[in-house]
Amino acid sequence: MSETTERIKCLIIGSGPAGYTAAIYAARADMKPVMYTGMQMGGQLTTTTEVDNFPGYPEGTDGTAMMEDLKKQSERFGTDVRFGMVTAVNLSNEVGGIHKVTIDEDKEIEANTIIISTGATAKYLGLESEMRLIGGGVSACATCDGFFYKGQEVVVVGGGDTAAEEATYLANICSKVYLLVRKDYMKASKAMQHRVDKTENIEVLYNTEVEEVLGTNVVTGVKAINNQTKETKEIAVTGVFIAIGHTPNSDLFKGVLDMDETGYLITQGKTTKTNMPGVFAAGDIQDKEYRQAVTAAGTGCMAALDAERYLGALE
């Protein structure tokens, strides 16, 4: 072990609800966890202005403020929270083996256990107006933010199962939902398409793309274009929900950890165990079904308990 190498019991890669909850439990179990937050400290939730559905906040809270609360709680029990990126991994496939990790292409860490909570990144259209209004009416999570648009008119962008599900969810809350589909058909399952068709306050616009999200500080509408006729029109809405998928932040582990065809890490049964002993995954990196802060926190707890039991079995 070189002078620049640090040996620790538990390394947590990534912050957010999963990482911070894992840190709280790992620290209380005297595992002395070290967390590297990644470039977006606090994860996806820091792009959400208001959080109303996380238990313990009766008046709601701000996403960034909530992540700061979780960070402070993890530090209170002794978590060493560090800003930095894991740039390389060399994982051991032996029970009790040491996992080697490189931080910022420079520092080396050896860890008995690793909890991966790098999350997933929502896909956006890439429009300047869209990026500017994230948190001001543009969202990638209907179940997170839909409540704020009760009785209002909104747009959902996408043609897959996620878009269909978000549109039907919002239709129960909002007065009108415009579903903008880029192609002349939906790629959602037939069952989801039938749900959309049967929902009276959903209007599907095919061959339609968002050219611009309108509004200065908050969304006031979208400028949409028909990609066949090139006709443009403005749709007055207060919310724009982008539902074109997520990308799991798992590139670092390709060819090393088992993952599905889209890159989500595969965990064993009801545990957070990956195919490598002593390596666990929590939060959106292994959950493409729910993607909620509270479910991420739950798996963070599970990962810390799994790691603690793994270490205990070695003693």
Listed residue (139, 160, 163) closest to 149, CA to CA: 139
Euclidean distance between CA atoms 67 and 297, whole angstroms: 11
Query: CA of 24: how far to CAs of 19, 29, 32, 75, 106, in Å?
Result: 9, 9, 10, 8, 27
Percent helix, strand, coil in the chain, to 5, is: 30, 30, 45
Q: Is 144 a catalytic residue?
A: yes
Euclidean distance between CA atoms 229 and 220, whole angstroms: 25
Euclidean distance between CA atoms 235 and 217, whole angstroms: 17
Contacts of 75 (CB under 8 A, 6+ apart): 81
Q: Which residue has the tokens 């309108």?
A: 214
Q: Where are the alpha helices (DSSP H) in 121-226?
A: 128-132, 142-145, 161-171, 190-198
Query: CA of 76: how far to CAs of 26, 70, 297, in Å?
Result: 12, 10, 17
Q: Which residue has the tokens 């313990």?
A: 56
Euclidean distance between CA atoms 16 and 284, whole angstroms: 10
Per annotation, catalytic residue among 145, 284, 287, 306: 145
Q: Is 174 a catalytic residue?
A: no
Query: CA of 39: how far to CAs of 15, 101, 294, 297, in Å?
Result: 10, 17, 22, 20
Q: Is 306 a catalytic residue?
A: no
Neighbours of 85 (CB within 10 A): 15
Per annotation, catalytic residue among 141, 284, 287, 306: 141
Burial label for 73, CB within 10 Å (0-12, 13-18, 19+), is middle
Per annotation, catalytic residue among 30, 106, 144, 251: 144
- Active centre residues (catalytic): 141, 144-145
